[in-house]
Structure 1
């Protein structure tokens, strides 16, 4: 119960921080004479999906994710390094690499894309977009690729929790059009410029810039695309959800479409193939969400 209360405390504390930042961005853009940055119905949907995601995720971490982590830890290297600047940096870099792998899988495997499509389905880029998440994340198993490698190495679970939450907090600040280029930081760090490309739905923008804190993974593995080379960015997915302001629909519609395709074609490969595979393999009747 104590872990659940801690999880809910994080939801409230960071929720207040994020709301404050969103209000500041809204006030700044209004002061600059910019309109159309925030849209009330979309912002409410983003806040609602973000709240439901974080509540379910926090309870899942408290109830079974950390328990599974400890079970795996007993079979791993049990490194458990002393607290130091180097060990903290090693954990931050390692967790970000695990996020990169997890993020790539969420784009390449339909089962995981069902969770992630919610985040990409906004047609606008502002700080509220960062909160457009999906409560089924904890139920999809995607977290295994983020948590379990650290358990096998032997990092303390509380350190890992802080590193993951810190990674997510950093990513919140990437969702804005108000911050342009950041000089030399663009070479190493993920920045709003890089992340704007990631949220684009034009061909040169899809499946690029997967990093969380660092952009070095994308440059190493060939998934990097600079904003200058991406063309005009069109936010969203290529087939937008039919009910863009319904928080529940936004989080479950792709699951429904996937299972419809599995039933229609009697093909379990749809579960683990690319999100567009059913459409490409069986034709345009598939319910897959083009990107």
Structure 2
């Protein structure tokens, strides 16, 4: 699962040993994410490290790892941080009552609160640090979108990979609509959303899709957004196209039964992708990939119903 943590800059940046240990525990592939709390969280960590007297070599490595973490482990907090309250922990405790973090990692645990972990005492076996890399959710559009939300609201490129994704089928558009609403609400400009489907016997002709896509997706795509449709054909003797994934520029997950919302009586297994597999799958569905044969043209459908070839 994907859990959000508030991490005190002083707790992670005061010495190299704690920084190295903690930063490696976070990532979209590990199920633990660091909330940018406050918005300039990375800057605050670097300032703490500089004041601690950390050597130049380790400070340079710390900065480099924070830069990597911007893509792999950090997410927008979407919480208020009051700079007039000089104490970071007090800010975090206040927000815990409004929009809870999964846990708060700090240099101390004032009040002995159950949801606060002390940085130099953390153990991965602590219940608050346990983050399963696979879990089940009901096959309901809102539940699927909610489970994928940390990726959806943090990414610039979002790919729905499903051989049987059908934009004229309400079971698929239910999940798509809920997912696109989360992306739209994130406030990130210029997010690129794509559906990648596979050729099969029941797939309608591309000309029919082009003619009807705007109508089929009416009310599904938020204003100002669009979604691109990529069709792929398996090559003779080549790789099969069966597994379903949510892939983004931040990370990815396997969606075992696909994106169709078949009802709460069924469950879909989600599993986080480790880094190398995520990168492999992203490359496989790049437009000029040779793993499968692209069915031209690629279509882009806009919120106002327009469809264009790209």
TM range (shorter): under 0.3
Higher strand share: 2
Q: Which has the larger radius of gyration?
A: 2
* Bigger fraction of residues in helix: 1
- Alignment TM-score, normalising by the size of structure 1: 0.23
